[in-house]
Chains A and B, each alone.
Chain A
Amino acid sequence: MGLREPEEIQQQIVRETFHLVLKRDDNICNFLEGGSLIGGSDYKLIYRHYATLYFVFCVDSSESELGILDLIQVFVETLDKCFENVCELDLIFHMDKVHYILQEVVMGGMVLETNMNEIVAQMEAQNRLEKSEGGLSAAPARAVSAVKNINLPEIPRNINIGDLNIKVPNLSQFV
């Protein structure tokens, strides 16, 4: 889809999508027919619900609905492997990593790889490469960050889904 949506529209899409899936029971189907918001009737929202997290994909009719459900499962399992027992906080604090993983699964709105082992292998190789370069935050910064944590209020364990924004990156490009 031609132009990337501006930030406000992106936010609106995320917000409305979130409200749409939130009010759905667990025992009803995982497909939502597209409204004008996501590009018309050729598009569907396909989502999976894991505890407090929703993973929502927006796809057009060239994708297989059940196939996408499987793909979401692959994505989540990949997250689990890459973060070693993924939890909400991992995703909240390491959104960049989530993007990198997603980019190995979906590229520019098209499905790139469906084989989890391959995705994990590529992620690990890139992590090694990053490590060999010293990473973004070198050791001293970590130490400081530890100091900074000292007088912060305790990090809440359970996070209300309401303030969690799971983004579908570049939703509109999901052609």
Chain B
Amino acid sequence: MALKMVKGSIDRMFDKNLQDLVRGIRNHKEDEAKYISQCIDEIKQELKQDNIAVKANAVCKLTYLQMLGYDISWAAFNIIEVMSASKFTFKRIGYLAASQCFHEGTDVIMLTTNQIRKDLSSPSQYDTGVALTGLSCFVTPDLARDLANDIMTLMSHTKPYIRKKAVLIMYKVFLKYPESLRPAFPRLKEKLEDPDPGVQSAAVNVICELARRNPKNYLSLAPLFFKLMTSSTNNWVLIKIIKLFGALTPLEPRLGKKLIEPLTNLIHSTSAMSLLYECVNTVIAVLISLSSGMPNHSASIQLCVQKLRILIEDSDQNLKYLGLLAMSKILRTHPKSVQAHKDLVLQCLDDKDESIRLRALDLLYGMVSKKNLMEIVKKLMTHVDKAEGTTYRDELLTKIIDICSQSNYQHITNFEWYISILVELTRLEGTRHGHLIAAQMLDVAIRVKAIRKFAVSQMSALLDSAHLVASSTQRNGICEVLYAAAWICGEFSEHLQEPHQTLEAMLRPKVTTLPGHIQAVYVQNVVKLYASILQQKEQAAETEAAQEVTQLMVERLPQFVQSADLEVQERASCILQLVKHIQKLQAKDVPVAEEVSALFAGELNPVAPKAQKKVPVPEGLDLDAWINEPLSDSESEDEKPKAIFHDEEQRQAKPRQPEADEEELARRREARKQEQANNPFYIKSSPSPQKRYQDAPGVEHIPVVQIDLSVPLKVPGLPMSDQYVKLEEERRHRQRLEKDKRKKKKKEKQARRHSALHTESDEDIAPAQQVDIVTEEMPENALPSDEDDKDPNDPYRALDIDLDKPLADSEKLPVQKHRNAETSKSPEKEDVPVIEKKSKKPKKKEKKHKEKGREKGRKKEKKEKGEDLDFWLSTTPPPATAPAPALATAEPEVNAVISAPKEEREEPKREEQDEEEEVEEQDPEKKPSKHKKKKHRKEQEERSADRKKSKKKQPAGGGAAEPVENGSLDEEPLPPMSSYCLLAENSYIRMTYEVQGSLQEDSRVTVSIVLENQSSSFLKNMELNVLDSLNTKLARPEGSSVHDGVPVPFQLPPGISNEAQFVFTIQSIAMAQKLKGTLTFIAKNDEGSTHEKLDFKLHFSCTSYLITTPCYSDAFAKLLESGDLSMSSIKVDGISMSFQNLLAKICFHHHFSVVERVNSCASMYSRSIQGHHVCLLVKKGEKSVSVDGKCSDSTLLSNLLEEMRATLATC
């Protein structure tokens, strides 16, 4: 007892913590709600205290209660208080609570902006981390706009932990604030090559997510992703990239060709099932997109299908499921390949796992053909019988109907069979899809004229049987089929065998238990039936019988007149009066049948769902024109300054009218629609599942022939569809025999003509009934257009942004004038790339000039971008894959890049042009630029040097007096095609090479060597070796000595060229280097094989250690001011080349970028792989050029300038 009291008093002193709360809730099972409300009261007290620790504890408990479903939004302000605590422990609690309960509607969220900004720039990485994590859950458009720039800065944080979070959250920011996408994109792209795998993975993640929604904007990243795919070892990243490629290939078939090989390699090499599966998936996507371009295309499909079969047969249910999923993708384009595995799919229908059964059902939909439809449906029917649970059974039912009715019933050869199936389906108790079956019955009976007789007999049987009427309790239940049955029997009553019996069935008292809308149809069709009976009887002169029928009607109709359903009541009383009138006439012996049937003369034809929309607008009718001029409510019009010239006013006014009224028009259109919707006489065009019908042209041309009597029209009793299967087989067999006979005759007649071997294909199976499928009626001159309507509310549409356009000043992200914006100013800060500077400090004076310059640059860049991709996709040795792979292993980094033999190289080019022409047809707007591009390519084919020149000329075209800010000119390095120079050559082989540094691997360069087999021998066992110098060493495989060579990872058949990459480590980059080396190989031809070798000298110029790095003028100025750079200069005379071309040449050959250019003076910047800044000032005189350089290493600078002198001397 005493203890309890002590506990009570301590309780008041020390609050419950989370564990106590959880324990308490578990101990109050029976009055949990009461206990929790008591706890919430305590929490409210705690939140009132000043102590932040108490508050944090309270918020922690609230987060738990939120998880249990309690609303805690009332504590939002307290949560913010805890978020702004200085201690990490509390801050984390606050942010967790916020991430669980804040949303766009939380009003206090706007108070968090500054707190979050403060946390983002906190010196503790974990403060920043929790802020980012929290923000990712509750970011609003306002927060996104205000914090985008801060987050973007964090993308270059020194800590990878922050970088990866910042990169990832950018996706959320883009979604909420799409304007941030373009400014942030360059940096995001840069993070794809981040040295930290986590950051890289995050960047891949974000770009994949973006690209999934708008793939076309990301096609230009394909080379980069391709490189990542061949170099990354992170399966997670690989999966993402491979999935991304799956989305890109449909847009660019050439990409697919390039992908097939690395993907197949991965399939063979990976042990990770997840990766293998995604590879197979993307290969499928590629094969689908290529459709026919590949020679062994169908073989590849077969391979995929085989692989998937293995998955499906696996005992692991997950693999089985995924195998089926992927199979359905192949099915869409290559149904035949999948159909071969029908057995497997049918087997999966028996699986105990519903997910798998559903997948298998999906597959079946695409697998049916004329040949196997009956068999498959039969199988499904047995499943219907034994299915437990109505959900799966209903799923089966809809699938059967989908399968049979797909593509305008194209697989159905025997509609009697189909009707029987539908009738059999009516025996399902408790299904929700009665209306579906009914719709099918109606559709078939109306559109397949030949089947009406049979359908009517079946429907009358349905009306007769009592079980359907009994099940009328359920809405949409199976009794819905009576709706169809009654209508069919009434409408086509002339086909009825025993109309009188049917009439009685329809007038049974039990019918009144049916739902109103069915009864209404009953009443209406009873009259139709009655009319036809009258006619029959009168023709047979059985007046007695005719009067009996009338009497029956008069007796039974009153039961409908009493109906509670208005529609039924109205129709019934109306008809009752009519019948009574007829009775009177009959009593006077007046023949009435003619007149009664006249009530229902004429045939109802189905109308296409879009018919209304397709009525062409008659000539001279302008729907948008005013019928009565609207009353001008235009004060604004009065305010308009009066134009001086009369006709000008007119010209202005005319185009203006519709523009100004657009909103008004939309409003009126909406109002009109509303009106139409409320107008019962206006036929609405509603989307219907049957719109496919009009895609099948020429059905009406199918000749209407008498029904083939090989199938008995009447099957005794309710037909079992199974009988049809048997009959069908017999029929087909007979058909085949007949055909063969005919063929024989033919053969005798025309002995010369070879007839193809006869196999029963789909097309050979003639339908049992030649059916006339009545097409839905369309207005005359219907417009064939099919506008696809995109959902304007798609949130991802806002992110459909062209990322290749250079940034405009207006697009910069809003920046808080704040200390942390300043930190990233000078290029000395390694982690902050200079790219972003431009957006931060626009120079207002230059704005106009820049705008002009950009306009020019934009055109050029667009072209270059497209060209780069084209270039990469073409099968010549791609420079885009040349940079060093990002692998940081000690192994020799030797990458092989595929390239096709010379003969083949011609072909893809032609193809490319063809493709381009296609593209042109699609969007005529782009035509002019495309034409230019094509011309361009021709040049490229001629000579690479020419190509370069033409490129340089373009920017020269527009007056050189304007200062050109960089970015537009140099963001995209010129394709380094001609930077490959000859290494060595003999009769067997020709080697060209290129040296490239990479920023990520300092002191390493990659030498890409293109080996071209010039002989008719097969070259193999190629090995490359160099004599290492003290300074420069070839990276060799681990464990091999310095004298060992590095094997080239491929062999060269005659005429083939391929590229290999070798990595060298460099100690000092200040001096140019030369390394002697040898390539040894075995040349094998018909006469035998010989050992051959080829000596070469690898030249590492100082230039090859430079990396084109963009730099902005303010950063450049700072760099020069800093004063720790040494200076040197050269002057070259006798220059004839234009300044523009000169600059382009320096940029291209020496890896510089233009910072700023005024008249004939330009500043340029580059950076070495070891981080030296190199600044140049290039001035052009009359016939000379002087280059002043500044660099942190004087030796490097003077060597660079000497190399430059050599280049300039050739100008």
Contacts and interface: CB of A to CB of B under 8 A. Distances in A.
Interface of A: 2-4, 6-8, 10-11, 25, 27-33, 62, 64-67, 69-70, 92-96, 99-100, 103, 107-115, 118, 122, 125-126, 129-130, 133-138, 140-141, 144-145, 147-148, 150-153, 155, 163, 165, 167, 169-170, 173, 175
7 contacts: A28-B352, A93-B22, A110-B205, A129-B88, A144-B10, A148-B20, A150-B3
B211 to A, nearest CB: 10
Interface in B62-77: 63-64, 66-71
B60 A170 contact: no
Nearest to A137: B17
Interface stretch (B95-103, B427-435, B520-528, B945-953): B95-103
B568 to A, nearest CB: 35
Interface centre among B57, B273, B317 (most CB of A within 10 A): B317
Given A112-B164, A126-B88, A144-B14, A152 B105 contact: no
A107 B105 contact: no
A66 B202 contact: no
Interface in B564-584: none
Contacts of B168: 107-108, 110, 112
Given A107-B133, A129-B126, A32 B3 contact: no
Most buried by A among B17, B320, B356: B17
10 tightest Cβ-Cβ pairs between the two chains A and B: A108-B136, A66-B274, A28-B353, A29-B317, A4-B103, A11-B69, A29-B321, A64-B239, A144-B14, A114-B236
Contacts of A103: 96, 99, 133
Contacts of B1074: none
A96 B126 contact: no
Interface string B201-241: 11001101100100000000000000000000011100100
A69 B321 CA distance: 14
Contacts of B209: 62, 110, 175
A165 B89 contact: no
A96 B164 contact: no
B4 A107 contact: no
Interface centre among A4, A111, A134 (most CB of B within 10 A): A4
Contact of A3 (B103, B133, B206, B322): B103
Interface string B389-418: 000000000000000000000000000000
Given A70-B274, A137-B17, A30 B318 contact: yes
Interface string B1095-1128: 0000000000000000000000000000000000
A108 B172 contact: yes
A107 B136 contact: yes
Given A30-B318, A96-B96, A125-B126, A62 B198 contact: no
A116 to B, nearest CB: 12
A2 B104 contact: yes
B212 A62 contact: yes
B1019 interface: no
Given A33-B358, A125-B126, A152-B23, 16 more contacts: A4-B102, A4-B137, A7-B71, A29-B320, A64-B277, A66-B318, A93-B18, A96-B18, A107-B165, A108-B172, A130-B92, A135-B89, A136-B17, A150-B7, A151-B4, A155-B23
Contacts of B23: 93, 152, 155
A169 B100 contact: yes
A7 B14 contact: no
Contacts of A96: 18, 60, 63-64, 93, 96
A93 B19 contact: yes
A126 B95 CA distance: 15
B137 A173 contact: yes
A100 B96 contact: yes
B64 A95 contact: yes
A111 B205 contact: yes
A170 to B, nearest CB: 6
A69 B317 CA distance: 13
B103 A148 contact: no
B795 interface: yes
Contacts of B100: 169-170
B273 A66 contact: yes
Contact of B105 (A3, A31, A33, A138): A3
Interface in B350-380: 352-356, 358
Contacts of B206: 110
B202 A112 contact: yes
Contacts, number: 199
A7 B274 contact: no
Contacts of B872: none
A135 B92 CA distance: 12
Contacts of B6: 147
B278 interface: yes
B749 to A, nearest CB: 57
B322 A66 contact: yes
B132 A107 contact: yes
A67 B236 contact: yes
A33 B355 contact: yes
A115 B354 CA distance: 33
Nearest to B236: A114
A136 B67 contact: no
A166 to B, nearest CB: 10
B53 interface: yes
Interface in B281-329: 317-318, 320-322
B638 interface: no
Nearest to A140: B14
A172 to B, nearest CB: 10
B650 interface: no
A10 B100 CA distance: 11
B38 interface: no
B274 A100 contact: no
A134 B230 CA distance: 48
B126 A137 contact: no
B615 to A, nearest CB: 35
A29 B318 contact: yes
A10 B22 contact: no
Contacts of B68: 165
Contact of B126 (A29, A114, A126): A126
A79 B1048 CA distance: 46
A12 to B, nearest CB: 9
A1 B915 CA distance: 38
B171 interface: yes
A148 B236 CA distance: 48
Given A11-B69, A113-B198, A145 B63 contact: no
A133 B687 CA distance: 64
B466 to A, nearest CB: 37
Contact of B274 (A11, A64, A130): A64
A136 B61 CA distance: 12
A100 B96 CA distance: 8
Contacts of B849: none
Nearest to A9: B69
Given A25-B352, A62-B243, A113-B198, A133 B87 contact: yes
A14 B212 CA distance: 28
Contacts of B70: 7
B151 to A, nearest CB: 12
A95 B18 contact: yes
Contacts of A69: 274, 318
A20 to B, nearest CB: 11
A136 B57 contact: yes
B19 A133 contact: no
B637 interface: no
A29 B205 contact: no
A174 to B, nearest CB: 11
Interface in B512-556: none
Contacts of A135: 89
A122 B88 CA distance: 14
Nearest to B63: A96
Contacts of A151: 3-4, 7
Given A62-B208, A115-B198, A148-B20, A100 B69 contact: no
B270 to A, nearest CB: 12
